[in-house]
A and B are shown apart, each in its own frame.
Chain A
Amino acid sequence: MGVLKEIIINFFKEPFTELHPFVKKKPKERFRGRILYEADRCIGCRLCEKYCPVKAVDFHEKGRIDFDMGKCIYCGLCRDVCPVKCIHYTHAFEYASSNKEKLRKNLV
Protein backbone atom coordinates (compact mmCIF):
# COMPACT_ATOMS: atom_id res chain seq x y z
CA MET A 1 0.00 0.00 0.00
CA GLY A 2 2.83 2.36 0.94
CA VAL A 3 4.44 2.03 -2.47
CA LEU A 4 1.18 2.76 -4.29
CA LYS A 5 0.61 5.87 -2.20
CA GLU A 6 4.14 7.07 -2.97
CA ILE A 7 3.61 6.51 -6.71
CA ILE A 8 0.34 8.47 -6.75
CA ILE A 9 1.88 11.35 -4.79
CA ASN A 10 4.95 11.48 -7.02
CA PHE A 11 2.81 11.38 -10.15
CA PHE A 12 1.35 14.80 -9.38
CA LYS A 13 4.55 16.33 -7.98
CA GLU A 14 6.77 18.91 -9.64
CA PRO A 15 10.17 17.51 -10.66
CA PHE A 16 12.81 17.74 -7.92
CA THR A 17 15.57 18.65 -10.39
CA GLU A 18 16.04 22.15 -11.78
CA LEU A 19 15.86 23.15 -15.45
CA HIS A 20 19.02 25.15 -15.09
CA PRO A 21 19.98 26.73 -18.43
CA PHE A 22 16.33 27.57 -19.19
CA VAL A 23 15.23 28.64 -15.72
CA LYS A 24 18.10 30.51 -14.07
CA LYS A 25 18.66 29.69 -10.42
CA LYS A 26 19.20 32.67 -8.19
CA PRO A 27 22.03 32.17 -5.69
CA LYS A 28 21.46 32.88 -2.01
CA GLU A 29 22.09 36.32 -0.50
CA ARG A 30 25.59 35.55 0.89
CA PHE A 31 26.85 33.73 -2.21
CA ARG A 32 30.40 34.60 -3.27
CA GLY A 33 30.58 34.92 -7.07
CA ARG A 34 32.72 37.06 -9.35
CA ILE A 35 34.56 39.99 -7.72
CA LEU A 36 33.37 43.54 -8.39
CA TYR A 37 35.95 46.27 -7.76
CA GLU A 38 35.06 49.95 -7.33
CA ALA A 39 38.14 51.63 -8.78
CA ASP A 40 37.19 55.21 -7.87
CA ARG A 41 36.90 54.46 -4.15
CA CYS A 42 40.19 52.57 -3.89
CA ILE A 43 42.89 54.23 -1.75
CA GLY A 44 45.74 52.02 -2.97
CA CYS A 45 46.74 50.50 0.38
CA ARG A 46 47.71 47.14 -1.21
CA LEU A 47 46.25 45.12 1.68
CA CYS A 48 44.25 42.93 -0.72
CA GLU A 49 47.41 42.07 -2.61
CA LYS A 50 49.29 41.32 0.60
CA TYR A 51 46.59 39.11 2.10
CA CYS A 52 45.46 37.09 -0.93
CA PRO A 53 46.44 33.47 -0.08
CA VAL A 54 46.87 32.45 -3.74
CA LYS A 55 48.37 35.69 -5.14
CA ALA A 56 45.44 36.28 -7.45
CA VAL A 57 45.52 40.08 -6.98
CA ASP A 58 47.65 42.10 -9.42
CA PHE A 59 48.25 45.61 -8.14
CA HIS A 60 49.32 48.07 -10.86
CA GLU A 61 48.53 51.43 -9.29
CA LYS A 62 45.86 53.09 -7.18
CA GLY A 63 42.55 52.45 -8.92
CA ARG A 64 43.94 49.78 -11.24
CA ILE A 65 43.93 46.30 -9.75
CA ASP A 66 43.34 43.05 -11.63
CA PHE A 67 41.69 40.15 -9.86
CA ASP A 68 42.60 36.90 -11.60
CA MET A 69 39.44 34.84 -11.24
CA GLY A 70 41.20 31.79 -12.66
CA LYS A 71 43.34 31.69 -9.53
CA CYS A 72 40.80 32.99 -7.00
CA ILE A 73 39.58 30.52 -4.37
CA TYR A 74 36.62 32.71 -3.30
CA CYS A 75 37.69 32.88 0.33
CA GLY A 76 36.60 36.50 0.69
CA LEU A 77 39.68 37.67 2.59
CA CYS A 78 40.37 40.62 0.22
CA ARG A 79 36.89 41.94 0.89
CA ASP A 80 37.32 41.55 4.64
CA VAL A 81 40.66 43.36 4.85
CA CYS A 82 39.71 46.25 2.54
CA PRO A 83 39.54 49.38 4.77
CA VAL A 84 37.13 51.28 2.47
CA LYS A 85 35.09 48.21 1.41
CA CYS A 86 35.51 48.73 -2.33
CA ILE A 87 35.69 45.00 -3.15
CA HIS A 88 32.38 43.13 -3.46
CA TYR A 89 31.34 39.62 -4.37
CA THR A 90 28.55 39.56 -6.96
CA HIS A 91 26.12 36.75 -7.71
CA ALA A 92 27.63 36.10 -11.16
CA PHE A 93 28.85 32.51 -11.43
CA GLU A 94 28.59 31.59 -15.12
CA TYR A 95 31.75 33.04 -16.59
CA ALA A 96 33.91 30.03 -17.33
CA SER A 97 36.17 30.70 -20.27
CA SER A 98 39.05 29.13 -22.15
CA ASN A 99 40.59 32.56 -22.56
CA LYS A 100 42.62 33.41 -19.46
CA GLU A 101 42.65 37.13 -20.30
CA LYS A 102 38.88 37.23 -19.99
CA LEU A 103 39.08 35.91 -16.45
CA ARG A 104 41.59 38.60 -15.52
CA LYS A 105 39.36 41.46 -16.70
CA ASN A 106 37.51 43.23 -13.92
CA LEU A 107 33.82 43.73 -13.49
CA VAL A 108 33.18 47.44 -13.08
Chain B
Amino acid sequence: MLNSSQVIGVGIITGAYSLMLFLLYKSKKTIEEMKKARESRRRRRIKQKINSVMHAVIERRR
Protein backbone atom coordinates (compact mmCIF):
# COMPACT_ATOMS: atom_id res chain seq x y z
CA MET B 1 0.00 0.00 0.00
CA LEU B 2 1.14 3.53 -0.71
CA ASN B 3 1.75 5.87 2.21
CA SER B 4 0.40 9.43 2.18
CA SER B 5 3.69 10.99 0.95
CA GLN B 6 3.82 8.54 -1.93
CA VAL B 7 0.21 9.28 -2.90
CA ILE B 8 0.87 13.03 -2.89
CA GLY B 9 4.16 12.57 -4.75
CA VAL B 10 2.69 10.36 -7.47
CA GLY B 11 -0.20 12.83 -7.77
CA ILE B 12 2.17 15.77 -8.22
CA ILE B 13 4.35 13.92 -10.75
CA THR B 14 1.35 12.76 -12.80
CA GLY B 15 -0.34 16.15 -12.56
CA ALA B 16 2.79 18.10 -13.55
CA TYR B 17 3.55 15.78 -16.44
CA SER B 18 -0.04 15.83 -17.68
CA LEU B 19 -0.10 19.64 -17.50
CA MET B 20 3.13 19.75 -19.49
CA LEU B 21 1.64 17.54 -22.20
CA PHE B 22 -1.55 19.60 -22.23
CA LEU B 23 0.39 22.85 -22.61
CA LEU B 24 2.44 21.27 -25.37
CA TYR B 25 -0.76 20.24 -27.16
CA LYS B 26 -2.22 23.73 -26.78
CA SER B 27 1.00 25.39 -27.93
CA LYS B 28 1.28 23.11 -30.95
CA LYS B 29 -2.29 23.95 -31.90
CA THR B 30 -1.53 27.67 -31.58
CA ILE B 31 1.58 27.33 -33.76
CA GLU B 32 -0.41 25.48 -36.45
CA GLU B 33 -3.21 28.05 -36.39
CA MET B 34 -0.77 30.94 -36.65
CA LYS B 35 0.98 29.17 -39.52
CA LYS B 36 -2.35 28.78 -41.34
CA ALA B 37 -3.11 32.46 -40.83
CA ARG B 38 0.34 33.42 -42.18
CA GLU B 39 -0.11 31.22 -45.24
CA SER B 40 -3.56 32.57 -46.03
CA ARG B 41 -2.17 36.12 -45.74
CA ARG B 42 0.62 35.18 -48.13
CA ARG B 43 -1.82 33.62 -50.61
CA ARG B 44 -3.97 36.72 -50.48
CA ARG B 45 -0.97 38.91 -51.22
CA ILE B 46 0.06 36.71 -54.20
CA LYS B 47 -3.50 36.80 -55.54
CA GLN B 48 -3.54 40.59 -55.28
CA LYS B 49 -0.21 40.77 -57.10
CA ILE B 50 -1.41 38.47 -59.91
CA ASN B 51 -4.60 40.48 -60.25
CA SER B 52 -2.69 43.74 -60.51
CA VAL B 53 -0.34 42.29 -63.16
CA MET B 54 -3.28 40.89 -65.15
CA HIS B 55 -5.01 44.21 -64.91
CA ALA B 56 -1.90 46.00 -66.21
CA VAL B 57 -1.57 43.53 -69.12
CA ILE B 58 -5.22 43.94 -70.10
CA GLU B 59 -4.88 47.72 -69.92
CA ARG B 60 -1.80 47.64 -72.16
CA ARG B 61 -3.55 45.43 -74.75
CA ARG B 62 -6.39 47.89 -74.91
**Do they bind each other?**
no
Chain B residues in contact with chain A, CB under 8 A?
none
